[in-house]
Structure 1
Amino acid sequence: MRAWLGFMVLFCALGTPALGVTVAEVPRPPKGTWTVDLTASRVLQPSVQAELDQLGTELDDSGLGQLMVVMVDTTSRRPSREFALALFNRWGIGHPGRDDGVLLFVAYADRKAEIILGDGVDEPADQEASDAVMAQAIVPGFKRKDANAAVQMGARGLKQLIENSRLNHPQDAAPEPVAGEDFVGSLSAEEFLVPPPQMSWSPPEEASTEPGLGVFAGGAGVLGAAGLAGRAWFRRRPRKCKACGTQRLRLGEVADDAHLDAGQRAEESLGSVDYDVWWCEPCADVLTERYGAFFTRAARCTRCNYVTGKQSTRTLRSATYDHGGEEEVTVRCGHCAFVSVSRRSTPRRTRPSSSSSSSSSSGGGRSSGGGSSGSW
């Protein structure tokens, strides 16, 4: 009898579906915080939540944008893309008049993740950066069953997206990355076999049950997955030696170090660049191919040109509502020990709208649905 009761308790515990919420039931985070974790098991660790709130506060205080992270268990059959977009616009993530907000939304039990971009940070380069963060940080992290790393790295990448956006670099022809290796430019052109999906649709009403948005998001996810599979295949495809026609052998991570110089090995140890070495036995010849990380904290050294620099910043003049600020950027190379110092301007702060909620961090931004979708 006891065994039977124990089985029933275990069955109920494992078989109880995760409770879903509606958009209206997701509570706004208190002012000064930027994270909501409604999962039953409170997936996000306190240290990770603290970092996410710090990232959001730094962005908001600088006037560059707003970054929210929301995790729920399930959206109760409502398409996750539709749910996330409705939540973004309900809260108005972003500064009024700039639409510089970004939402990282995770339906944990549904195994879905969404990035919603505000209209001010929704240019093609921003879309590509969003796809890269989803494909290279968020989805792989969840597939490794490391939800905290997935969200943490995803939020770091999205903070860079906002900082590097054209909105915050209007004087530049193209946004420049803070860390010297941008999201997309670090990849070779051959890897982009399938262009990232361009999402631009009118946001549905919160109570809408139209299936079009969910179908479109699903199709975008399929295209994104196909693109990732295509890039992976292209990188691992067989190579033949042009001299003798023999098929080359791709060396492992340990064996290929013998064919890399000290700077290349340093890049690999930092994770800023990954190298593939293809060996031809008859010719005793190697073919080395370089694959830069989508985003990395390492900076490119201006002397040795390797992505092995550790970057730090010091505020020389704080930005105010009336004028921009100035920062001193120091890059110390871990390979050649060269130290470079430069200065850069920061935009002035944006005055909050009087219509913004005083009890919540967000209020005033708008999104038309740009961003990325992922599943695992």
Structure 2
Amino acid sequence: MFLRLILVFIFLSLSAHAQSLPAPLASTVSDFADLLPPEVEARVVDALTKGRQETGVHVALVTMERIADYGGAGQRIEDYAKTLFNTWGVGDAGRNDGILILVARSDREMRIALGAGYSVIWDNVAQRVIDRYFLPEFRADRYAAGIEAGVQGTIDLIARPYAANSPPPEPEPEGTTTDIIQMIMTGLLVVGVGFVAFRKHVGRVVARLRRCPHCGHRGLDQSRHILDQPTQTTTGRGEIHRSCPSCGKGTIIPYKIASKSASSGGFGGGSSSGGGATGRW
């Protein structure tokens, strides 16, 4: 009887843990932390979709405030990312070539989790992608810019060469022409993405300065709500809510979310054995 109780307890604990993991919002981007303005998210979805169509490699991006909010309390991000990868089944089940990019903003950690098909040498490439593309922007609180640059770096430096059966790209010497060009391109990307993110935050600041149309007090609160996620063929719907703390009344502004652009093909049942790289800032 005692052994049965232990087994039941273990089963219930495992079941509760599995249930606490989030379901993906899409096979490309699950932006639970709302780090990406709609325009940036549309570009990231497009990059992931085209990358998968060209290489066959499924790359999925996930953002969270804290992994503890999504079933990861007390876990290392390496273990949590592996569990989430295997629960969702990222990548092709036969090739095990999927890639999961997990960003936990308030934890100040991220992980590129690689499928079981990647040899350990690809962990070094994943670390270079994190160090070069993600972390410099994250340390400056430019999350949208870092994610967009990092997603493209993941596709170009991991997915493409792996799919082509090419050896992992060698690290480039400091100060090469390629590095200089990359710095220029990254700078232009930062400016573009920064402008989009700036517009998003400016909207909130401006809302705080607006007068309530009902009572005339300043200091409106503004938040964004997604009503319908976009699909491969249809646009999604969202609303911007502005409310007045003084009188409690508010207004709702609808907006559209770009479609997934014929994307992904869903999750293929791939698995990870724990390979990849971690970044902290």
Length-normalised TM-score, structure 1: 0.44
User: CA shift at 1:87, angstroms?
Assistant: 0.3
Aligned counterpart in structure 2 of residue 35 of structure 1, from 29, 40, 47: 29
Residues 22 and 75 of structure 1 are in contact (CA less than 8 Å); yes or no, is this contact kept in structure 2?
Answer: no
Pairing 1:368–2:273 present = yes
Task: Find the counterpart in structure 1 of residue 44 from structure 2.
Answer: 52
Residues 28 and 60 of structure 2 are in contact (CA less than 8 Å); yes or no, is this contact kept in structure 1?
Answer: yes
CA distance in 2, matches of 1:119, 1:295: 35
Residues 187 and 293 of structure 1 are in contact (CA less than 8 Å); yes or no, is this contact kept in structure 2?
Answer: no
User: CA shift at 1:296, angstroms?
Assistant: 7.3
Distance 1:23 1:164, change over 3 A: farther
Distance 1:365 1:296, change over 3 A: farther
Kindly report the root-mean-square deviation, in angstroms, between the aligned alpha carbons of the 2 structures. 2.9
* Percent of aligned pairs with the same amino acid: 25
Equivalent AA in structure 1 for residue 32 of structure 2: L
Task: Find the counterpart in structure 2 of residue 66 from structure 1.
Answer: 58
Instruction: Within 5 Å, give how 1:243-322 maps onto structure 2.
Output: 267=177, 272-274=178-180
Distance 1:60 1:75, change over 3 A: same
CA distance in 1, matches of 2:117, 2:184: 21
SS of 1:369's partner is: coil
User: CA shift at 1:187, angstroms?
Assistant: 2.2
Count matched residues. Answer: 182
Instruction: Within 5 Å, give how 1:2-41 maps onto structure 2.
Output: 24-30=20-26, 33-39=27-33
Instruction: Within 5 Å, give how 1:231-250 maps onto structure 2.
Output: none
Pairing 1:149–2:145 present = yes
Pairing 1:80–2:77 present = yes
Task: Find the counterpart in structure 2 of residue 134 from structure 1.
Answer: 130
SS of 2:95's partner is: coil
User: CA shift at 1:293, angstroms?
Assistant: 5.5
The structure carrying a bigger helix percent of its residues is 2
Unaligned runs of 5+ in 2: 1-16, 69-73, 187-263
Aligned counterpart in structure 1 of residue 160 of structure 2, from 150, 163, 173: 163
Distance 1:296 1:164, change over 3 A: farther
Instruction: Within 5 Å, give how 1:179-218 maps onto structure 2.
Output: 182=169, 184-187=170-173
Residues 124 and 277 of structure 2 are in contact (CA less than 8 Å); yes or no, is this contact kept in structure 1?
Answer: no
Unaligned runs of 5+ in 1: 1-20, 176-181, 189-234, 236-263, 275-291, 298-358
Aligned counterpart in structure 2 of residue 94 of structure 1, from 91, 94, 103: 91
Q: Which runs of 4+ in 1 moved over 6 A?
A: 294-297
Distance 1:131 1:104, change over 3 A: same
CA distance in 2, matches of 1:58, 1:150: 19
Residues 70 and 103 of structure 1 are in contact (CA less than 8 Å); yes or no, is this contact kept in structure 2?
Answer: yes
Length-normalised TM-score, structure 2: 0.58
CA distance in 2, matches of 1:132, 1:295: 18
